[in-house]
């Protein structure tokens, strides 16, 4: 068991008010971070149909960890460190690597949120019947428009001018249902506000590629080489990338002038929606309900795809979106943004943009885990 405890007034206050759900972790420069403690769990603790293996979010370099700590708020940037603080303007207009590097600079164990950490939280929320909400309509909830938050541009909620304005909302909204556990002591803004970059998962010409377990916590550390794998569709075992038996997102048709439909998990791609090596953003893509992702020949999907949030673990009509291009190199974003309306949510998955993409609608989030041996 690791020990990070060192009492101080702010940490004591936060832990007491949240009944231990939250704590404060300090950066390398001594700046505070409001973090939610996510204890280790096994897959069958969040879904009966899964096995009893430990969720991969709690495994780093083959070592099982007791918990990971997840930022309560979208990341803001201060003194070259990525932080989790209330009442801040969330950082945006940074590419994936920049977010990763700033997170590494926050201190040992700090990192940009990984795809497995997001997936673990998503499964936990679904198991506990939590329905997340947030800034999904230009500063307000699309489903509950009376719920508004302070926009960073100080304009009224609902103002759709994003050319001269910025509909992103300030961290620490007042609405409990904008937090993952429906309490003000949970994790906010996992639904809407900003798309959030996730380390450790990408598409390469439609092939699903991941970094094993939670080893993506090292992404952005220049001393560590990223080790990418593909996944066998039939077994869920890890394979070398560009493998003939690996899982890929195929399209229902080769339509390249707009939406080609909802992805199909397959070992081969019969229908690209663009040129396989093209990293740009032509019209061809897939856009549909995450819940409607299917498999070729109705193949039974291995547990890993469900544990990683790459295929529906449950049948839920929540309108969460899958939005991707099965050509070029595409990095993972999740959650939706201030314009996503009813399709935002924790299952919402975006694999349509290159890792160099920068936008006012894309941000990131800090996390921490014990990386000692």
261-283: per-residue pLDDT in tens?
999 999 999 999 999 999 999 99
**C-beta neighbour count of 325 within 10 angstroms:** 29
Mean of the pLDDT values across residues 73-101? 99
pLDDT value of position 75: 99
Residue 76 lies in a domain: no
Read off the pLDDT band of 5 (50, 70, 90). low
pLDDT at 55: 99
Average pLDDT score over the chain: 97
Is residue 336 in some structural domain? Answer: yes
Q: What is the mean pLDDT of residues 130-153?
A: 98
Region 350-365: mean pLDDT is 99
Domain membership of residue 121 (yes or no) is no
The number of folded domains in the chain is 1
Report if residue 52 sits inside a domain: no
Under DSSP, the state recorded for 46 is: T
CB 346 within 8 A of CB 334: yes
Q: What is the pLDDT of residue 129?
A: 95
The span from the CA of 173 to the CA of 151, in Å, is 10
Residue 1 has pLDDT above 50, yes or no: no
Residue identified by tokens 């993506």 is: 216
pTM for the whole structure: 0.97
User: Is 62 a domain residue?
Assistant: no
In the chain, % of residues over pLDDT 70: 98
Q: Is residue 188 part of a domain?
A: no
Q: Domain span at residue 201?
A: 195-356
Mean pLDDT over 168-174 rounds to 99
Q: From residue 83, how far is each of 35, 71, 79, 140, 217 by CA, in Å?
A: 10, 8, 10, 24, 16
Residue 239: inside a domain: yes
Residue 10 within a domain: no
Give the mean pLDDT of 115-121: 99
Buried b (16+ CB within 10 A) or exposed e, 234-251: eebebbeeebeebbbbbb
pLDDT band at 7 (very low <50, low <70, confident <90, very high): confident
Residue 9 confidence class, pLDDT cut points 50, 70, 90:
very high
**Span 292-326, pLDDT tens digits:** 999 999 999 999 999 999 999 999 999 999 999 99
In this predicted structure, the answer to whether residue 185 has a pLDDT above a threshold of 80 is yes
3-state secondary structure of 121: helix
CA distances from 314 to 61, 119, 177, 297 (A): 29, 13, 21, 19
Q: What per-residue confidence (pLDDT) applies to 373? A: 80
- 4 pLDDT exceeds 90? no
């Amino acid at each position: 068991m690791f020990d990070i405890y060192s009492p101080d007034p702010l940490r004591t206050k936060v832990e007491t008010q949240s009944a231990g759900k939250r704590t404060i972790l300090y950066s390398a420069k001594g700046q505070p971070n409001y973090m939610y403690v996510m204890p280790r769990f096994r897959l069958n603790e969040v879904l009966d149909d899964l096995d009893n293996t430990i969720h991969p979010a709690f495994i780093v370099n083959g070592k099982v960890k007791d918990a990971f700590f997840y930022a309560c708020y979208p990341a803001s940037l201060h003194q070259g460190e990525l932080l989790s603080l209330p009442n801040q303007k969330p950082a945006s207009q940074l590419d994936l690597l920049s977010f990763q590097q700033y997170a590494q600079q926050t201190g040992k164990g700090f990192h940009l949120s990984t795809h497995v950490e997001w997936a673990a939280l998503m499964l936990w929320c679904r198991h506990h019947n939590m329905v997340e909400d947030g800034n999904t309509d230009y500063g307000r909830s699309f489903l509950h428009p009376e719920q508004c938050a302070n926009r960073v541009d100080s304009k009224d909620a609902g103002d759709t001018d994003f050319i001269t304005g910025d509909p992103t909302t300030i961290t620490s909204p007042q609405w409990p249902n904008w937090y993952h556990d429906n309490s003000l002591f949970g994790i906010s803004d996992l639904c809407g506000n900003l798309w959030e970059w996730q380390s450790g998962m990408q598409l390469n010409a439609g092939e699903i590629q991941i970094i094993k377990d939670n080893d993506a916590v090292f992404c952005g550390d220049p001393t560590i080489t990223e080790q990418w794998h593909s996944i066998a569709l039939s077994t869920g075992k890890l394979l070398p990338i560009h493998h003939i038996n690996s899982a890929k997102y195929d399209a229902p048709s080769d339509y390249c002038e707009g939406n080609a439909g909802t992805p199909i998990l397959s070992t081969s791609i019969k229908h690209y929606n663009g040129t396989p090596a093209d990293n740009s953003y032509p019209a061809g893509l897939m856009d549909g309900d995450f819940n409607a992702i299917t498999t070729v020949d109705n193949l039974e999907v291995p547990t890993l795809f469900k544990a990683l949030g790459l295929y529906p673990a449950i049948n839920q009509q929540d309108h969460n979106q899958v939005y991707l291009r099965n050509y070029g190199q595409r990095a993972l974003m999740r959650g939706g943004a201030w314009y996503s309306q009813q399709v935002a949510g924790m299952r919402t998955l975006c694999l349509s943009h290159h890792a160099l993409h920068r936008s006012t609608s894309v941000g990131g989030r800090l996390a921490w885990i014990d990386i000692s041996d």
